Every structure is written in C-alpha cells, then in structure tokens.
Amino acid sequence: MWSISAANPIEQELLTRIKLYIDEVRQEWRLALQDKLFWGLGIISIVLTIAFFGNIGDFLEYIESRPGCVLNDAILNALEAHDMSGPIFFIIYAGAALVFIFCLPCPWTFLFAAHIFLLQNLIRALCMYFTPLEPSPDIIPLHDPLLLPYVYRESVKLKDLFFSGHTATLTVYCIVFRRYIVWRRIFKISTVLMGVLLLIQHCHYTIDILGAVPMSYFAYLLAKYIWKRAGLPFKKTLLEKKIKAI
C-alpha cells in the first residue's frame, strides 16, 4: 500500500497522481492478462517483431551494397550541412518515453501502437527495396545509440533513405495522441522540426521527409483495418476515445 506524505500540497498532488497512475496500470494489465485473446496477440506480436528486427540487419546490408541514384534536391542544396544528432535523438527518444507512459495504462492501445510501428517498418523496408538511392554527398551520418549496436550491427547505414524512419516515428506519435489536442499539436510541431533537422544534417532528401507522413498514416489505417476485419477490440484503444483537451 502507498503512504502519501509530502512537505507541500504540490508534492502531495504529484504523489497522488503517480499512485493513481501505477494503480491504473496494475489493474488494466491484470485484466488484460486474463484475456486469452490479448495473450495470443501479444505472443504473435513479439515473435513477428523478433523475426523482423532479427533479419533487418542483413536486409540493410543488401541496401547498402547496391548502387543507387543521387537526387538533385533543391532544398537540400540550399542548406549547409550541420550535425544535429543531439536534438534529433532527444526528440525521438523523449517522444518514445511519452508514448510509452501514455499507452502503458491501456494494454490494448499499447498493443495496437506496436502493430502500427511493425507495419510501418515493413512498409518502409518495401519502399527502400524499390527505391535504390545514394545519400547526399554532404551527408553527416546519424550514430543512433540504440540502433547502431542492436540493429545496424555497429555499421553506420547511409542508404536507408525512403522514407525517413525518424519522421515516420514522430508521425505515429501524432496518431497515438490524435484524441488529445494539446499533445497532438506538440507532436505535429515536433514532426516538422524533425524533418527540418534531418534536412540540415543532409541525412535525408526532402521526398524522404514528405513521404514519411502519408506512409505512416497508411500503416495506421492498415492496422485499423486488420483489427476491425479480424474482430479485434479496436474500441478498447484510446484512439477511439472522445477528444480531450490535453
């Protein structure tokens, strides 16, 4: 049991909210884990995710090995290349933490968001396969602290271009928060900012940035269609709730 005691009302209110959040997480996951359907979907999702990311390294090596074409990007040509890795990684991982905290009290939302990300990455892999591109000559490589050792196998990848994974991820964040007006606006601004930072670093073409938005929304629509077609409880996700101010 929690014992709430604080030196001032603000601290007490904060501790109360934390307690309520943790209690909600425990209760909702306890209920979800009693559902055989949730268990089955969860296991299938984990297996598919492991299978995908366990083989994506070989796929990316192939993408790096084949020749492609360099695009004449007027916007990119007008920008001087600068290393923006710091703010790029802050935005992407701070956003990931917020989405995780937001989805955690609703297991079905957590599962649905995972399916959007999985479909988005599958679609991105197909797009990379059919659009062989060479990076900008002035590219400043991104050294992702998580992807580099576990996905990229300690080898910086330069040709995973169309479409931008970072911009696509921020777009999915917008979709997850689509019913929360303030957060949705914050992530829309973050998505635009991410696109600008990636262009300044010359690690993507303009078309990579612009293409990421509709492709991510397509992944969401596809996940939603699959869930509804399969009779899965999409209405239990927070994406179907009434619009909230925050």
| Each residue's pLDDT tens digit, 175-220 | 988 888 898 999 999 999 999 999 999 999 999 999 999 999 999 9
The pLDDT confidence band at residue 4, using thresholds 50, 70 and 90, is: low
Taking a C-beta distance cutoff of 8 angstroms, is the pair 68, 198 a contact? no
Average pLDDT score over residue span 38-43: 93
- pLDDT tens for each residue of 9-20: 888 888 888 999
CA neighbor of 71 nearest in space, from 242, 209, 216, 241: 209
Rounded Cα–Cα distance for residues 187 and 95 (Å): 8
Residue 122 phi/psi, 5-degree rounding, is -65, -45
| Model pLDDT, residue 221 | 96
How far from chain centre, in Å, is Cα 183? Answer: 15
CA 81/CA 79 separation, integer angstroms: 6
Rounded (10°) CA dihedral 7, 9, 15, 16: 140
pTM of the model: 0.88
Residue in 72, 61, 82 with CA at minimum distance from that of residue 153: 61
State residue 1's pLDDT score. Answer: 47
pLDDT single digits (tens) 223-244: 999 999 999 999 888 877 655 5
What does DSSP assign to residue 133?
Answer: B
